[in-house]
């Protein structure tokens, strides 16, 4: 019996060592969310001028001792009087003198828990069932050994802001890139110097690509093991033209799209997601009205005609040069996205104009991003010899369900496991 007990004890120790060894082979992983994919907090200062009675500084009642409250996501946005408050507080303003974007007067914002996955799990932790975002994905990642705060980290950001082409300031977006770079280096250092796997969703993929291309090859080789982009809108979306023209409730009941249209138009990142002329040719009409048709090459004219001329200058000077330069970063990249879901391809407006939701002609994509945009890198980087690119298509998977449907999660986990296994094999070979 003593011999059996000793054998069992040795077996337990061996198993523990195996687990430790398996865990140590994981490359640190950083999750970068898409637009609206993390919590956002706000605080009102004396410079705040409410647009109505319901929007006074007393609302919302629940604030912390320093006056901070949850701006995104708060369920009161579904009620019309408070939708107007939300619209006012989320608005950005382009300052032509500064050539940059800023918050509404009297509104301060911050992103909670940078570096942690906490603000990515649920958009509102009090409404977990209704606002789950990356919670299912994180649970699956934990199932293969990742531990939040040790080998898995989150990079939330103020998703209203974007980036700008070289030579133009972008204070908020550039700070996020620096914070993300610092997080990558710290995550690598705390994991024995292993390079990092970056896993993005939607808009997060555009940010990551910019980060890679704005840092030297030597930095990328040292700190980046692989980049996995989920549902990345490399060339923007036709859906974004609907958002600018008529507002979008994104399927949320009770919300009048026109009440949030002003805020959506003001978003710098939304302007970044306009369909790119690089991918959507001049002969492809994306918006058709009784008097005019607009292609991706007509965005400046489109912005004027919908009543948003203030968007023309930042679009032409800050956004367009950036979207036309999707340079390959020479980092291993895997694109995973859904196909076979009806996605707006052409928007048809009647005599009622842009204040009415249009009819849509649908094409292929993931329900939000068109297939031309999702698969763009295959054609753009076809002759890039030093750019490893893998594309995984998931039939019937939508833009958001890629983070929760079992088939999609299995594909993501399999790719991450494969990257870790290959890395370990390379180390063993050396």
Q: Residue 251: its pLDDT value, please? A: 64
The answer to whether residue 13 scores a pLDDT higher than 50 is no
Set 100, 158, 305, 366: catalytic member = 366
The residues, ordered by sequence, that sit 6+ positions from 249 with a Cβ below 8 Å of its Cβ are: 255, 256, 257, 260
Average pLDDT of the segment spanning 398-423: 96
Across the range 229-242, mean pLDDT stands at 98
pLDDT at 12 over 90: no
Average pLDDT, the chain: 92
Given 202, 267, 373, 401, which residue is catalytic? Answer: 202
Q: Verify whether residue 202 is a known catalytic residue.
A: yes
Cβ atoms of 179 and 156 within 8 Å: the answer is no
399 labelled catalytic: yes
User: What pLDDT was estimated at residue 19?
Assistant: 41
Given pLDDT bands bounded at 50, 70 and 90, which one contains residue 427? low
Closest CA to 72 of 129, 29, 119, 12: 119
67 token code pair: 């006056």
Catalytic residue check, 366: yes
Torsion of CA 56, 60, 62, 63, to 10 degrees: -60
pLDDT over 50 (residue 316): yes
pLDDT digits (tens, 9 = 90+) for 122-178: 999 999 999 999 999 999 999 999 999 999 999 999 999 999 999 999 999 999 999
State whether the Cα torsion 81-84-88-91 is positive or negative: positive
Nearest to 225, CA basis, from 194, 255, 193: 194
- The predicted-structure confidence for 188-215, as pLDDT tens digits, reads as follows 999 999 999 999 999 999 999 999 999 9
Read off the pLDDT of each residue in 62-71 and give the average, rounded to a whole number: 94
Of the pLDDT bands very low, low, confident and very high (cuts 50, 70, 90), residue 15 is very low
Cis status, amide bond into 332, omega within 30 of 0: no
Average pLDDT on 39-58 reads 90
Mean pLDDT of 401-427: 92
- Whether residue 426 has pLDDT greater than 80: no
Give pLDDT, residue 16: 44
Predicted local distance difference test score (pLDDT) of residue 20: 39
Q: In angstroms, how far is CA 319 from the centroid of its own chain?
A: 17
pLDDT (0 to 100) of residue 26? 97
Give the Cα separation of 397 and 370 in Å (integer). 13
């Amino acid at each position: 019996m003593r011999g059996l007990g000793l054998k069992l004890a040795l077996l337990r120790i061996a198993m523990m060592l195996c687990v430790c060894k398996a865990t140590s082979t994981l490359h640190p992983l950083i999750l970068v969310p898409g637009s609206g994919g993390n919590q956002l907090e706000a605080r009102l200062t004396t410079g705040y001028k409410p647009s109505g009675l319901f929007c006074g500084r007393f609302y919302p009642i629940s604030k912390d001792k320093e006056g901070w409250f949850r701006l995104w996501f708060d369920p009161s946005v579904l009620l019309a009087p408070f939708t107007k408050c939300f619209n006012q507080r989320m608005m950005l303003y382009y300052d032509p003198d500064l050539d940059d974007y800023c918050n509404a007067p009297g509104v301060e914002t911050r992103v909670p828990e940078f570096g942690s996955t906490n603000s990515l799990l649920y958009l509102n932790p009090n409404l977990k069932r209704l606002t789950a975002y990356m919670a299912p994905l994180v649970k699956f990642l934990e199932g293969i050994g990742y531990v939040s705060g040790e080998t898995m980290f989150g990079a939330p950001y103020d998703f209203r802001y974007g980036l700008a082409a070289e030579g133009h300031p972008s204070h908020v977006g550039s700070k996020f890139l620096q914070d993300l770079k610092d997080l990558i280096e710290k995550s690598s250092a705390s994991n024995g110097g292993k390079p990092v796997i970056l896993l993005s969703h939607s808009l997060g993929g555009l940010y990551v690509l910019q980060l890679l291309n704005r840092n030297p090859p030597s930095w990328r080789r040292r700190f980046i093991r692989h980049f996995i982009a989920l549902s990345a809108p490399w060339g923007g979306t036709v859906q974004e033209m609907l958002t600018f023209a008529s507002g979008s409730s994104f399927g949320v009941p009770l919300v009048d799209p026109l009440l949030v249209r002003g805020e959506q138009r003001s978003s710098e990142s939304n302007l970044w997601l306009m369909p790119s002329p690089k991918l959507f040719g001049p002969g492809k009409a994306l918006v058709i009205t009784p008097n005019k048709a607009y292609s991706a090459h007509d965005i400046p004219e489109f912005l004027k005609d919908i009543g948003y001329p203030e968007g023309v200058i930042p679009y032409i000077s800050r956004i367009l040069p950036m979207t036309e330069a999707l340079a390959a970063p020479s980092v291993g990249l895997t694109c995973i996205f859904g196909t076979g879901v009806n996605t707006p391809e052409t928007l048809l407006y009647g005599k009622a104009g842009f204040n009415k939701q249009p009819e849509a002609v649908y094409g292929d994509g993931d329900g939000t991003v068109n297939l031309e945009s999702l698969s763009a890198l295959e054609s753009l980087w076809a002759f890039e010899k030093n750019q490893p690119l893998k594309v995984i298509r998931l039939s019937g998977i939508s833009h958001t369900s890629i983070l929760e449907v079992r088939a999609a999660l299995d594909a993501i986990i399999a790719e991450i496991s494969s990257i870790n296994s290959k890395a370990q094999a390379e180390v063993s070979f050396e």
